[in-house]
């Protein structure tokens, strides 16, 4: 089941996915093993129970940006007759994931503070 990643708050639509979370999440996912873009999209959907299914239109620009920033490398890999672009973490990408647990705790705390507003 796919859920909507935004909700109505009176006349406003509020995104429930914080801006800027995609790139750190991609790095965290790539810690485990090299993946291609579609696999990253599937992993996010799986981790969120189908709640968030990023599109190719958001995943590939984020991967391109991470590559330009030196956090990931792209390699061509043959899978049958198809050639896939597989992404791996660089040393800089590995360093960037070191503080992810702290980031995760801070994000949870921030959400809890926001939830307490209501």
CATH of the domain at 61: 1.10.10.10
Instruction: Please give the DSSP secondary-structure letter assigned to residue 87.
Output: E
Identify the CA nearest to 67 among candidates 40, 88, 51, 49.
88
- Structural domain includes residue 75: yes
- Structural domain includes residue 8: no
- Structural domain includes residue 69: yes
Q: Reduced to 3 states, what is the DSSP secondary structure of residue 73?
A: strand
- Structural domain includes residue 110: no
pLDDT given at position 59: 95
Say yes or no to pLDDT of 6 above 50. Answer: yes
| Residues 92-104, mean pLDDT to the nearest whole number | 86
**Domains: count for the chain:** 1
pLDDT given at position 2: 45
- Structural domain includes residue 78: yes
pLDDT digits (tens, 9 = 90+) for 68-79: 999 999 999 888
- Structural domain includes residue 109: no
- Structural domain includes residue 15: no
- Structural domain includes residue 12: no
Neighbours of 27 (CB within 10 A): 21
Judged by average pLDDT, the poorest of 17-21, 33-37, 64-68 is 17-21
Instruction: Please give the DSSP secondary-structure letter assigned to residue 50.
Output: T
User: Structural domain of residue 97, as residue ranges?
Assistant: 20-104
Separation between Cα atoms, residue 41 and residue 58, nearest integer Å: 10
Contact criterion met (CB below 8 Å) for 85 and 76: yes
Judged by average pLDDT, the poorest of 9-23, 33-47, 59-73, 75-89 is 9-23
pLDDT given at position 3: 55
């Amino acid at each position: 089941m796919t859920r909507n990643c935004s909700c109505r708050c009176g006349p406003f639509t509020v995104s429930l996915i914080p801006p800027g979370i995609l790139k750190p999440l991609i790095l965290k996912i790539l810690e485990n093993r090299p993946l291609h873009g579609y696999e990253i999209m599937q992993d996010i959907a799986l981790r969120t129970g189908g709640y968030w299914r990023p599109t190719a239109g958001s995943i590939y620009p984020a991967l391109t940006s991470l590559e330009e920033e030196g956090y990931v490398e792209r390699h061509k890999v043959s899978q049958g007759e198809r050639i896939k672009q597989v992404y791996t973490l660089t040393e800089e990408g590995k360093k960037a994931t070191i503080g992810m647990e702290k980031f995760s705790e801070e994000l949870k705390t921030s959400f809890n503070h926001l939830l307490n507003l209501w």
